Amino acid sequence: MPEPAAAYRRLQDWRALVTGAGSQGDGVGTGRAISVLFAREGARLALLDRDVERAAATQAMIAERGGEARVFPADLTQPTEAAAAVAQALAWLGGLDVLVNNLGLGSGGARLEEMADAAWAQGLDLNLNSAVFVTRAAIAALLAGQGKAVVNIASVAGLRAHGVGAYGPAKAALIQFTRELAVMYGPQGLRANAIAPGHILTPLVERFAGPAARETRRRIAPLEIEGDAWDVAQAALFLAGPEARFITGACLPVDGGVTAIAPLAAYERLAGESATR
């Protein structure tokens, strides 16, 4: 979908922190799309990313649209670095209303007998531990804010097995971590929800998915289209904003229906047969 043009200022004067806010190359990944959309809706953004140049490109995109953001570089897989970056971001923002844990990477995909210990650890660090470290550092500020919302970007790999080593288990744990946050801090007004993107075309995906793979991804989904980063950003905006005041502990698939379709129906689609029985 094209970049959303209309802005309703539903996050006016809110303060948001987005991890993994940069994107590969010149394209728009989920972290960049979420940051830009939140800024268009009136939020001030703290952008956390290890790659300063990529995060700075997101900051520039926000500034071009009249928004305000600042980059805070950090390796969020390191607890002390994560805590320091969050503290700096909170000092600049003056508080926090929304936290989006977007950092993640498809790491640790080898079979178990082939997987190095470092690959397993990296998969957990990038896709689970970073979110835990950042949330822990930000929780007090979130509970004192007006939005009191956490949105964790998981994956359909956390809902359905894909035969990979570390990525799916880490994303499944992130979804459960989201539920634990919802129950743990719900009495204090905090809402925590997760998004499970699936078959989303981002600059990172374009690096390893050729035309044949993209066509398979498209045909297997009931909607028979590819999603993009803006689809994920729109879902994140809804879950973060006031319209979702009575939603917590949920995991919303943004996947064109991939997690809804039965295996035989998906097979028939790829085989060119009727998808209805």
Please report which confidence band the pLDDT of residue 206 belongs to, taking 50, 70 and 90 as the band edges: confident
* CA atoms within 13 Å, Cβ hemisphere of 174: 38
Quote the pLDDT of residue 165: 83
The arithmetic mean of pLDDT across residues 169-177, rounded, is: 97
Place of tokens 């809706």: 41
Interior angle at CA 214, CA 262 and CA 199, nearest 5: 55
Place of tokens 């998004």: 195
H or E element at residue 69: strand 69-73
Q: Which two tokens stand for residue 242?
A: 């006031």
pLDDT at 276 exceeding the cut of 60: no
Are the beta carbons of 37 and 4 closer than 8 angstroms? yes
Quote the pLDDT of residue 275: 42
Handedness of CA 228, 235, 150, 156 (dihedral sign): negative
Are the beta carbons of 45 and 62 closer than 8 angstroms? yes
Q: In 3D, which of 173, 139, 148, 168 has the Cα closest to residue 156?
A: 168
Q: Tell how strand 251-254 and strand 191-197 pair up.
A: parallel
Are the beta carbons of 70 and 58 closer than 8 angstroms? no
pLDDT at 227 exceeding the cut of 90: yes
Q: Where exactly are the structural domains of the chain?
A: 15-202+227-259
Query: Rounded CA gap, 208 and 214, in Å?
Result: 10
Quote the pLDDT of residue 277: 40
CATH annotation of 15-202+227-259: 3.40.50.720
Are the beta carbons of 154 and 144 closer than 8 angstroms? no
- Collapsed DSSP state (helix, strand, coil) of residue 110: coil
Q: In 3D, which of 169, 275, 146 has the Cα closest to residue 223?
A: 275
58 alpha-carbon distance from chain centroid: 15
Query: Rounded CA gap, 66 and 241, in Å?
Result: 20
Please report which confidence band the pLDDT of residue 110 belongs to, taking 50, 70 and 90 as the band edges: confident
pLDDT, one tens digit per residue, over 237-264 is 999 999 999 999 999 999 999 999 999 9
Catalytic residue among 8, 167, 185, 267: 167
Mean per-residue pLDDT over the chain, rounded: 93
Quote the pLDDT of residue 210: 85
pLDDT, one tens digit per residue, over 112-147 is 888 899 999 999 999 999 999 999 999 999 999 999
The arithmetic mean of pLDDT across residues 156-182, rounded, is: 94
Q: Between 199 and 5, where is the model more confident?
A: 199
Quote the pLDDT of residue 120: 92
Would you call 8 a catalytic residue per the annotation? no
